[in-house]
Amino acid sequence: MNQRTVSADATVKRRRRPEVVVVTGASAGVGRAIAREFARHGASVGLLARGRDGLAGAANDVKRLGGHALPVITDVADDRQVEQAAERIERELGPIDIWINNAMVSVLSPALQMTSEEYRRVTEVTYLGYVYGTLAALRRMVPRDSGVVIQIGSALAYRSIPLQSAYCAAKHAVQGFTESLRTELIHDGSHVHLTTVQLPAVNTPQFSWIRTRMPRHPQPVPPIYQPEVIARAVYWAAHHRRREFSVGFPTVQAIIGDKFIPGWLDYYLGAIGYRSQQTAEPVQPGRPDNLCGPLPGDYGARGEFSDRALEFSAQTWINQNRGWLALSAFGLVAWLWRLSLNGTARAMSVSTPAVARNSFGVPVMR
């Protein structure tokens, strides 16, 4: 049996078993919605997070929707815990097909009021957690020459905003790490695919537990999207080989705006960035946060802003279908061009005087 036959047999076997997917930060928010989306398609989902209550809820969701769940309590800031989680998932669920890095923490605070410990913690989770997860996945995927790693990014990886210097810096770092790593995979001729899904503001519970020094309750910068919009986009991106996939018009606007008018955006965000990240509700004294440890309870996928959150993104639909939309547009242009040529030809034939010939074949104008 030659190598091509062995590879084909392995592909058939992979297709016969459920996809094995790992989601970090799976206990709540975007990660919880992603786990549910893959469960709807029958996947076996490894759920990584710190919170026991949220993980139990996520596991129940996955099972209820038709998937198989393996919750593993993991702090992604600890590379050993991430590696041990990957080992357990492969041992109990099978070879990992898709690894999704999503876990994050943040602090809403002016930079001068931040502590070194806060910067370190945000960096360890929101940047190094992605590094550890990616490397754990690649150690398994590269020898098999198959697999997908998805980085849950943000428009803030391109355009930073005030009060989130640690988080924005971490997202910029993820972008740099991912681009560098992608070139190495290309150099090696690897078929492992690496993609980033860049997000807009999302209605997740993080705004109920993010550490803040601001006087009013945190909120995502409008317009806001429901986490299920993100989950559907992530599932699509996991099965289509895009280098990067942006969700929502605000994400595209931020990326393009930072490229062409970064100076203007500096002043604009300096003027509105504080206000747009806070509601009118004052922060309650002694408000707990999840920066250094999980909060008890199961928070689900959605946050407090469902009355303002969008259930659908037209831009995402266009982005997913851009190939056949471009082909349809080309066909329409070609049809209109041909129609205009035919119309011009008919007009010329009507305006040209009729010509007759006499018995000797000489043209005679009528």
Is residue 217 within 8 A of residue 282, CB to CB? The reply is: yes
Of 9, 5, 27, whose CA–CA distance to 300 is shortest? 27
CATH number at residue 69: 3.40.50.720
Domain that holds residue 348: 327-365
Of 133, 156, 243, whose CA–CA distance to 196 is shortest? 243
Radius of gyration from C-alpha coordinates of the chain: 27
**Looking at the predicted structure, is the pLDDT value of residue 12 above 80?**
no
DSSP code string of 43-110:
-EEEEEES-HHHHHHHHHHHHHTT-EEEEEE--TT-HHHHHHHHHHHHHHT-S--EEEE-----EES-
Answer yes or no: do 341 and 212 share one domain: no
Query: Catalytic annotation on 268?
Result: no
pLDDT grade for 341, boundaries at 50, 70 and 90: low
Q: Which of 127, 132, 158, 167 is catalytic?
A: 167
Token pair in block for residue 186? 């290309």
Domain membership of residue 186 (yes or no) is: yes
Token pair in block for residue 220? 């995502």
Domain membership of residue 3 (yes or no) is: no
Domain membership of residue 4 (yes or no) is: no
DSSP letter at 113? G
Alpha-carbon span 311 to 317, nearest angstrom: 12
DSSP code string of 7-57:
HHHHHHHHHHSPPEEEEETTTSHHHHHHHHHHHHTT-EEEEEES-HHHHHH
Alpha-carbon span 27 to 13, nearest angstrom: 30
Domain membership of residue 295 (yes or no) is: yes
Answer yes or no: do 337 and 239 share one domain: no
Q: Which residues pair with 62 in a beta bridge?
A: none
Answer yes or no: do 332 and 186 share one domain: no
| Whole-number pLDDT of residue 334 | 59
| Whole-number pLDDT of residue 41 | 98
Alpha-carbon span 228 to 234, nearest angstrom: 10
Q: Average of pLDDT values for 230-234? A: 98
Q: What is the pTM of this model?
A: 0.87
Answer yes or no: do 89 and 236 share one domain: yes
Phi-psi domain of 297 (left: phi exceeds 0; alpha: psi -120 through 50; beta: other): left
Alpha-carbon span 303 to 209, nearest angstrom: 10
Distances (CA, A) of 49 to 90, 101, 293: 17, 11, 11
Q: Which residues pair with 195 in a beta bridge?
A: 150
Answer yes or no: do 295 and 340 share one domain: no
Answer yes or no: do 351 and 312 share one domain: no
**Position of tokens 């209605």?**
203
Alpha-carbon span 18 to 206, nearest angstrom: 31
Q: Name the more confident of 253 and 357.
A: 253
Residues 6 or more apart in contact with residue 258 via CB below 8 angstroms? 158, 159, 265
Answer yes or no: do 360 and 308 share one domain: no
Share of the chain above pLDDT 70, in %: 84
pLDDT grade for 1, boundaries at 50, 70 and 90: very low
Three-class SS of residue 292? coil
pLDDT grade for 322, boundaries at 50, 70 and 90: confident
Answer yes or no: do 118 and 241 share one domain: yes
Answer yes or no: do 179 and 248 share one domain: yes
Alpha-carbon span 72 to 77, nearest angstrom: 14
| Whole-number pLDDT of residue 265 | 97
Answer yes or no: do 218 and 273 share one domain: yes
Domain membership of residue 1 (yes or no) is: no
**Looking at the predicted structure, is the pLDDT value of residue 6 above 90?**
no
* Cβ neighbours of 48 (radius 10 Å): 32
Give tens-digit pLDDT for 168-179: 999 999 999 999
Domain membership of residue 17 (yes or no) is: yes
**Looking at the predicted structure, is the pLDDT value of residue 155 above 80?**
yes
Domain membership of residue 2 (yes or no) is: no
Token pair in block for residue 14? 């992979």
Answer yes or no: do 207 and 350 share one domain: no
Q: Name the more confident of 337 and 362.
A: 337
Answer yes or no: do 147 and 219 share one domain: yes
Q: Name the more confident of 252 and 16.
A: 252
Alpha-carbon span 18 to 94, nearest angstrom: 9
| Whole-number pLDDT of residue 326 | 64
Domain membership of residue 41 (yes or no) is: yes
Alpha-carbon span 66 to 324, nearest angstrom: 32
Distances (CA, A) of 315 to 104, 166, 223, 252: 25, 29, 13, 9
Is residue 201 within 8 A of residue 282, CB to CB? The reply is: no
**Looking at the predicted structure, is the pLDDT value of residue 8 above 60?**
no
How many structural domains is the chain composed of? 2
Last residue of a domain, one of 283, 299, 320: 320
| Whole-number pLDDT of residue 7 | 44
